[in-house]
Amino acid sequence: MGKDGYEKVEKKSKDKKGKEDIDDLKKELDMDWHKITWDELCTRLETDTTKGLTKAKYEEVFKREGPNRLTPPKTTPEWIKFCKQLFGGFSTLLWIGAILCFFAYGVQTTKYVEPPKDNIYLGVVLTFVVIVTGIFAYYQEAKSAAIMDSFKKMVPREATVIREGETSVINAELLTLGDLVELKGGDKVPADVRIISCSSFKVDNSSLTGESEPQSRGPDCTEDNPIETKNLAFFSTNAVEGTARAIVISCGDNTVMGRIASLASSLANDITPIAIELEHFIHIISAVAVFLGVVFFFLALILKYEWLEAVVFLIGIIVANVPEGLLATVTVCLTLTAKRMAKKNCLVKNLEAVETLGSTSTICSDKTGTLTQNRMTVAHVWFDEKIWECDTVPGEKNRNFDYNDATCKDLIRIASLCNRAVFLTGQDDKEILNKECQGDASESALLKCVELVLKDEGSNTLQFREEHKKVVEIPFNSTNKYQVSVHELPGGDQNLLVMKGAPERILQRCTSILMNGEVVDMPEDSEYRNKFNEAYEKLGGMGERVLGFCHCYLDKEQYPIGYEFDNEEINFPLEGFTFVGLMAMIDPPRAGVPDAVAKCKSAGIKVIMVTGDHPITAEAIAKNVGIISKESHTLESLAKSLGKSPDDLTDSDKEKVNAAVVHGSKLKEMEENDIDKLLEDHEEIVFARTSPQQKLIIVEAFQRAGQIVAVTGDGVNDSPALKKADIGIAMGIAGSDVSKEAADMILLDDNFASIVTGVEEGRLIFDNLKKSIAYTLTSNIPEISPFLFFIMLSIPLPLGTVTILFIDLGTDLWPAISLAYEKAESDIMKRKPRDPLGDRLVNERLISVSYGQIGMIQASAGFFTYFVIMAENGFRPVRLIGLRKDWDDQDFDAVEDSYGQQWSYADRKILEYTCHSAFFVSIVIVQWADVIICKTRKLSVFQQGMTNWVLNTGIMFETCLAAFLCYCPGMEVALRVYPLRIWWWFPAMPFSLLIWIYDEIRRYLLRKNPKGWVEKETYY
């Protein structure tokens, strides 16, 4: 055990505390500061519990330990982030293409006096595309990686410290180990401290543990777990009320919050699923390009081409395989989806995270504020031997009790009067359940419940309290566990004592019970006490916090109006009361969460709860929202239903167990293999009382099992898990700055139900990206094949490089992007999550359909048009074979056509460029059909409809652009695009119709024979 009280902390630098490595940070907190005696603590820290450190000792310790602040991590410079966008992933392929173009042009300059400019144009365009797309992507994803900056905001600026018996207020960074500090309500705890003494001191640990209720602190060690013991308070948590004096036991990076900060910032972001898919796609395209290039390089050598020409052919084929417009298409599609998700309250910080959510197979959700409303609400009341429901959702009425019942009236009166909470002003336009209150969470919940009831009676709590003037009060404290106040009844002739508190304590002080408005005696063996116990156990078993309520009409003669009550030396009765009822509170589920969980389950997504809250509360909420379904059994619930203890269950009994509620203390003892088996054996799991380190371990366990994991969270304690997850989802309203920085996506409405929208959008973008890629790749075949025929058959070049660029960066771009607007197919949320190993973005079936089927028909359309125009001008197909050498010879002006006419070089080139224009127009026409068949992977276009007006406009746009390029004056000089006779547009149209009919038949067979041969071979 070191000076800092930790078992496993080593110093790694001479002048400051170094960070532990990640494995060490993942280990549970192992310290004994809360357990050792004061003498040992003072000896270890060389301090005093009344006077604090001496100034000399302070200087020595501060010099050794350094300032009380978090060490910022190394950040990635912006220029490196920009370079990653510019040279990473798909951009690499385009850069290689551009470099090869420049190299090919260089080779051609050594061979020709006036080398063709095609390669230089292509190289410049590729460079331009990759730079523009890189800048666009960089600005879309520009985000601060300063997780630690958020932690800095949490650092308390000032602290009250006592040194050598003198009190002073100093900058919190100047605190060190052994300092004696004073804390009060409203302060931020300046370091990890051990409480010496306190008065009604409570801290808000929600950012650390997820517990929504303030936690009381005291000088005694109550738990072995340092996070749960009452005699420690932690750096950057809020002191809610009371005062305390404490000794600093950890500073800066060694605090609990500092360890979380170190863990969050040291975790690397793994590559996203869509990035993996794009990399896989690049490998496929590169392999195809290199294979074709090498094959035709050797073919060119066999056909007696010079090796320099063969190298130029090799480069040309490789570059022709690069889909220049696809990088822009993917980036724009992801951006459009991100904007669409933002409108649905999902703000995406990282573009690639858009698709990750669609691939998600497991969601590890925090409870407080995500599944629940993050506000204590009265869910049930018990009086007259019945449990009644209360209003828990703003704007909805679930209440099923009547205020006019005599017992109910008295219960509401006690809850209103024995309550110090008040509504903050200026909230008249808010629903009562959404109003902010001054007071603790339980009293605020009671206030809202009472206000809802009184409002329906034309009254309100403020008016009710004014009618019942408060005479005296004994506030709640952790020793007595009750709160008492005395009030004058309206009319001013009698005092009423009201009391609330822990139900068993309240019941002890009662000798009677109110039943249907009548006071009934309740001796020790009364059946009413048994019924009380049954109700108390049932409400507690539902994870609700239960309070008991009782009252007493004080004797008019003994305690008349004006009697001087004393709350120090009690001069009024504190027993012999009438028990009235119970009120049970819980942080209730959000309205849309049960439906959202059901949708996730139908989509094959596991929803796991990971919370720092109590197991009973966690299990109750999990059952309420459907994470644990009604028919499922945990080990404990099965044992209870069979009337056995869990240890007595047989193996056949245990086979029925398919759900588990795992306590953090049990998880702490489990090895990796045990955790893996737990996840494998149980479909429905709730992890309760988990630490930040355990949340991270749970995420890693699911990832080991091959799951794509989404994690939701709002607290600082969630940040390591958010960072490690495939996609981290933070809460926009209740979320801490730290959790928002660590996450990839932010839920602007804090509602779990918004995640389901995100999953659907993510699945849709994956489907639509497939469609965009299928559409874009198809035109590669009619673009590459002219070049291959040019080499193999030595015919005049049917399609030029410039016209290929018109297709890839002009006519194809809008239709490809428009597929991002295509609506989802009907089964999108009924499918299982995508298998990252089996269901790839680009697979052999997509290549087979795009290249081997539709692409071949498109190439046929282009060549048919090419041969028609050549034949009309006197060159029959047979005459063209072997003509290339003479055709491209600038000095030979006597090339004869099939009819013996001689063509000059200039005339031949005009005819060739006219063929380029016609081949280009043919590709545009067959791409009409291609974009229509790519709208859906399985449904008929008649089922899907033509309601995507972005796509419909895209078809019109590409046609108009093709016409503009062909007929705009000056294009033949600037871009070598020549006007076409109107009937040269028609030869490709039958091929376009053929593509549509062919694919309609293919998709009909897909639907008719699921899992048949057609699906196995062609469903991409």
Catalytic machinery residues: 366
**Range list of H helices, 934-948:** 941-944
Residue keyed to tokens 């385009």: 94
Closest CA to 168 of 154, 178, 155, 182: 182
Question: Residue 450: which of 377, 510, 351 has the closest Cα?
Answer: 377
**DSSP bridge pairs for 728:** 711
Phi–psi pair at 383, nearest 5 degrees:
-155, 160
Give the sign of the dihedral formed by CA 930, CA 935, CA 941, CA 945.
negative
CA 194/CA 214 separation, integer angstroms: 17
| SS3 call for 599 | helix
Inter-residue contact 545 to 442 (CB < 8 Å): yes
Strand order in the sheet with 745-747: 346-348, 745-747, 727-731, 709-713, 362-365, 606-610, 684-688, 659-663
CA 941 to each of CA 858, 931, 932, 957, 996: distance values in angstroms, whole numbers, following the listed order: 20, 11, 7, 21, 10
Taking a C-beta distance cutoff of 8 angstroms, is the pair 766, 881 a contact?
no
CA proximity to 319, closest of 115, 127, 86? 127
Asked whether 865 and 922 are in contact (CB, 8 A), the reply is yes
Cα(78)–Cα(70) distance, integer angstroms: 23
Pair 751, 366: CB distance under 8 Å? no
Strand 606-610 to strand 362-365: parallel, antiparallel, or no bridges (unpaired)?
Answer: parallel
For residue 567, give Cα distances in angstroms to 570, 576, 684, 922. 5, 18, 51, 95
Three-class SS state of 895: strand
Angle between helix axes 307-320 and 90-111 (nearest 10 degrees) is 150
* Rounded distance between C-alpha atoms, residue 636 and residue 469, angstroms: 49
Give the separation between CA 765 and CA 363, rounded to whole angstroms: 19
| Euclidean distance between CA atoms 389 and 407, whole angstroms | 15
Concatenated DSSP letters of 415-438: HHHS---EEPSS-TTS-GGG--EE
Of 280, 261, 263, which is closest to residue 699 (Cα–Cα)?
Answer: 263
Cα gap 933→822, rounded to integer Å: 12
561 by DSSP, 3-state: which?
Answer: coil
The answer to whether 924 and 959 are in contact (CB under 8 A) is yes
Closest CA to 778 of 916, 926, 918: 926
In residues, how long is the chain? 1020
Pairing of strands 577-586, 545-553: antiparallel
Are 277 and 239 a contacting pair, CB within 8 Å?
no
Long-range pairs for 154-162: beta carbons < 8 A, 24 or more residues apart: 154/188, 154/207, 154/236, 154/257, 154/716, 154/736, 154/737, 154/738, 155/69, 155/70, 155/188, 155/236, 156/187, 156/188, 156/189, 156/190, 156/236, 158/190, 159/190, 159/191, 161/52, 162/51, 162/52
